[in-house]
Structure 1
Amino acid sequence: MATVVRMPSVLANVTEGAIQSWLATEGQTVAVGDPLAEIETEKAVVEYAAEVEGTVGRLLVEPGDNLAVGTPIAVILAEGEGQDQVGPALAAAGVTVGTDAGPAPVPPAAVPEQTSSPEPRVAVAPAGNPAPAAPTPTPSPSRGQRTFASPLARRLARERGIDIAGIDGTGPDGRITRRDIERVPASSAPQPTAPAAASGDAASFTDEKLTGMRRAIARRLTESKTTVPHFYVTAHVRVDRLLELRREINETAPRKVSVNDLVLKAVSGALQRVPAANAIWNGDSIRRFTGVDIAVAVAIEGGLVTPVVRAVQDLTIGRLSAVVADLAERARAGRLQQHELEGGSFSVSNLGMYGVDEFSAILNPPQSGILAVSAAKPRPVVGDDGALAVATVMTVTLSADHRVIDGAVAAEWMAALVELLEHPVGLLV
């Protein structure tokens, strides 16, 4: 039976998006997991994969069209079906079919020309990445007319203080795309000017409007902090042996591993030793897992995302390092797939590379635990013989959901983690 593919909610709290580019063509056979399209939202560009197998019977919208979540975007035909099944599938889905057997795309959202001074520029395009050759642009609407732009282009323009009314869009019908914004030289973006402070007045300031991603982060973390009963367990871990193991691995391994890779492996081992901590709050039940899927916090321009590493317990340290590096690279490029941002029972947030001594993190529901990892630094310690010595110490703090994890379970889990980090040979077996 033919399947009507609808605009997915590729990220939490996203209500609209645009097809940036189709990755499949009409007549192409696709399997579950094959890429169908790049979907652009205010937050990122996410690769969307097929959820059914079959043949792409029809692509219903053009790249650049701004669509609400749930809008039909394509039809995938089952084995043995032909083009004569496209119309009935659309009719069954409640889509009005025109003379060309395809629905009219939803009109894009309009962005009125800016009449006030531009917002402060809070990000610039990465240096050293020349923009690709652009197709011949369609002239932008004249002053007083509406300016059409994709969601991500609007967000980037706001962040960079760029007036989109003065940009020639290269998308369909002159639509302004992300690439059009990135081609605008940083020097041409108006710089914010703070009001001059009169003598004796308070310091001057500028207000930066919230981006879509920052709004989503604020909403989600406020909800977490105010509705989930957090409690915290902290440990100070001697990691000299861990750093020595890393040094030995990197002397011979084809790929360098990081301290964070070893921490992730230790977190996985601790969750296996204390399975009561490998669970999530499920509303009217607690869902317990046998495998270990861990979300890794990755800082990106304007916020952060938490791609999930699957089955960490089955990965060698070298393979784990490669998987984490790939997810982080694609996260920063906005090329994560939807399923890579979903699931997991636990998160790891590492600020050690910034020299942070200690911090606690906010839970990412429905996950019941998140580990905050700080910098490893030389500190005075008391040895087993009572003598004062110097060791490399790393502070880690577990934030736990008390609905799922009791204090005794959290303490048991932390003890298992400390054991693995201080005697890291256990990570190799």
Structure 2
Amino acid sequence: MPTPIKMPALSPTMEEGTLAKWLVKEGDQVSAGDIMAEIETDKATMEFEAVDEGTIVAIDVPEGTEGVKVGTVIATLAGEDEDPEETRAAAGSDAASEDTNEGESKDAAPADSPAGADGDEAPASGNGGNGAATSARRDPAKAPPVPRADGERVIASPLARRIAEQKGIDLSSVTGSGPNGRIVKADVEQAESAAPAAAAPSAAREAPAPAAPQQQGEFGAPYEEVKLNNVRKVIARRLTEAKQSIPHIYLTVDVRLDALLKLRGELNASLEADGVKLSVNDLLIKALARALQRVPQCNVSFQGDALHQYQRQDISVAVAAPSGLITPIVTDAGRKGLAQISTEMKELAGKAREGKLQPHEYQGGTASLSNLGMFGTKQFDAVINPPQAMILAVGAGEKRPHVLDGALGVATMMTATGSFDHRAIDGVDGAQLMDAFRQLVENPMGLLV
């Protein structure tokens, strides 16, 4: 029996996704663990692996399809003991037989009976009802709908698809004679014989379309509409909810970086042989984790009538990925050494930019760190990432006038702002955390223990 491959739930909150890209095609053999597709979830674009061995005999959902519900059949796999050719043919003949039987039942039913009016057949695509097809069935004078390739899946039997692929026939140009416009073997063979006569009209159809008129905004400025991907939609929804439902309190400190920069240089010199190069951000991740160890009342989340007090410092770090902002997590950062934090962070950031993070690598976290200093941003207020209760925003390190021991001098300074959920964290607790963070950065030997 062919095995249906269904849209997986790649995250606990995923209800639907976009089939961004197929990495296999009909006729390909796959083994367990092979990457078959890239699926855009509500969090990131992730790879979908095969769990069984066999041959892909049908791809039911084309790449680029949005809003594919979890559990929808997206492809069909023939087992290693099954003949793919026979499976394709059997699938095509079974579908044709079912279509014929259903057609006979409708013909035999009275015109005013439920079967004669609406029909009880399942949609050929297996993905739910089709309103347009239902309308066509109700009006026998209408021709069957022509499958399209511009965003709507071509409805064809597996055998018809295979023949069309072998003959180089574009199924979107074939009119199906089966129920609901389904393309069967006879339609493809007829299209092949009519191909020479249709060559000229086809060439005319392929002429470049005139450029669409440029759209004008409400103030007259021209614009191009960019459709939001799933990740950007989730970011928009979550940040809106965060600002509307979380009472933010902001606390800012100026931190002297000279000692931390000096220690970083010394550590990098000693770790060079190990291939480890610490960034300033690596040390700041450790400093925030150690500060949360010192002020555990800030390592919490608000849960309605209770607080969750976390025993581990899992730091979510904001990373800009092509699909949008995502926050991979350095787990138990308070207990990890700087070299381990640096290695993990480089790996996580690379996977985030490639859209290959696994759910456990970005879901959770007890506090967040956002660093825009590399872009020259001096200071900013970050939005809390719920259900966390705080996020630390750090700006650029820059030379500034600074008074030390009563004398005016120049120091490398950085401005850091903590955003706190005032339902869970009082201002004094937030201030203690910011002071602990400042002390650890200005006296960085505390990051080595």
Normalised TM-score (structure 1): 0.64
Distance 2:214 2:395 in 1: 36
Alignment of 1:21-420 (within 5 A): 39-41=38-40, 44-47=44-47, 65=61, 67-71=68-72, 106-107=126-127, 113=150, 141-142=171-172, 204-212=221-229, 213-253=231-271, 254-385=275-406, 387-420=407-440
Distance 1:293 1:226 in 2: 25
- What's 1:421 paired with? 441
Partner amino acid, structure 2, of 1:46: M
Partner amino acid, structure 2, of 1:249: L
**Residues 313-356 of structure 1, C-alpha deviation per residue, up to 9 Å, x if partnerless?**
22211111111111111111111111112111111111000000
Distance 2:351 2:294 in 1: 32
Cα 1:206–1:236 change in 2 (3 A) is same
Are 1:47 and 1:338, in contact at CA under 8 Å, matched by a contact in 2?
no
- What's 1:15 paired with? 16
Task: State the Cα distance separating 1:413 from its structure 2 match.
Answer: 0.6
Task: State the Cα distance separating 1:105 from its structure 2 match.
Answer: 8.0
Are 1:59 and 1:73, in contact at CA under 8 Å, matched by a contact in 2?
no
Instruction: Please say which structure displays the higher CA radius of gyration.
Output: 2
Counterpart secondary structure, 2:334: helix
Distance 1:45 1:277 in 2: 32
The count of corresponding residues between Structure 1 and Structure 2 is 322
**Residues 131-177 of structure 1, C-alpha deviation per residue, up to 9 Å, x if partnerless?**
xxxx99976554799xxxxxxxxxxxxxxxxxxxxxxxxxxxxxxxx
**Residues 377-400 of structure 1, C-alpha deviation per residue, up to 9 Å, x if partnerless?**
001111122x21110000011011
Counterpart secondary structure, 2:418: strand
The more displaced of 36-45 and 287-296 is 36-45
Are 1:363 and 1:401, in contact at CA under 8 Å, matched by a contact in 2?
yes
Are 1:46 and 1:338, in contact at CA under 8 Å, matched by a contact in 2?
no
Cα 1:301–1:192 change in 2 (3 A) is farther
5+ unaligned residues in a row in structure 2: which ranges?
76-80, 82-123, 131-146, 152-164, 176-207
Distance 2:211 2:328 in 1: 34
Task: State the Cα distance separating 1:411 from its structure 2 match.
Answer: 0.6
Distance 1:402 1:216 in 2: 24
Distance 1:105 1:338 in 2: 30
Normalised TM-score (structure 2): 0.61
**Residues 24-61 of structure 1, C-alpha deviation per residue, up to 9 Å, x if partnerless?**
x9996xxxxx99875512664224699xxxx9699999
5+ unaligned residues in a row in structure 1: which ranges?
29-33, 75-82, 84-103, 115-134, 146-187
Counterpart secondary structure, 2:255: strand
Counterpart secondary structure, 1:366: coil
Task: State the Cα distance separating 1:307 from its structure 2 match.
Answer: 1.2
Task: State the Cα distance separating 1:403 from its structure 2 match.
Answer: 1.5
Cα 1:59–1:327 change in 2 (3 A) is farther
The more displaced of 40-49 and 285-294 is 40-49
Task: State the Cα distance separating 1:285 from its structure 2 match.
Answer: 2.2
